[in-house]
Structure 1
Amino acid sequence: MSQQAPKNYYFVIVKDKTDPDCLSRRLAVREQHLNDLRIRKEKSYLQVATAMVDKDGKMCGSVALYNVDSEQQAREFAESDAYYKNGVWDIDTLVIQQVNHSKL
Structure 2
Amino acid sequence: MHFAIIARDSKTPGTLEKRLASRPEHMEGLKTMKADGRVVDGGAMLDGDGNMVGSVMLLDFPDRAALDAYVATEPYKRDGVWGEVDIIEMRLVDWKKLMGQS
Tell me the secondary structure at the aligned position of residue 72 of structure 1: helix
Identity %: 27
Paired residues for 1:84-99 under 5 Å: 84-90=77-83, 93-99=84-90
Tell me the secondary structure at the aligned position of residue 59 of structure 2: strand
Runs ≥4 in structure 1, deviation > 6 angstroms?
A: none
Deviation at 1:102, TM superposition (A): 4.5
CA deviation digits over 1:51-72, x for unaligned, max 9?
1011221111011101111122
Q: TM-score, normalised by structure 2?
A: 0.85
Q: CA RMSD in A?
A: 1.3
**Unpaired runs of 5+ in structure 2?**
96-102
**Unpaired runs of 5+ in structure 1?**
1-7
Residue 99 (structure 2) aligns with: none
Matched, 1:81 2:74: yes
One-letter amino acid matched to 1:36: G
CA distance in 2, matches of 1:102, 1:26: 32
Deviation at 1:101, TM superposition (A): 2.7
CA distance in 2, matches of 1:60, 1:12: 14
CA deviation digits over 1:48-102, x for unaligned, max 9?
1201011221111011101111122222222211111111111xx2111111234
How many positions carry a matched residue from both structures?
Answer: 95
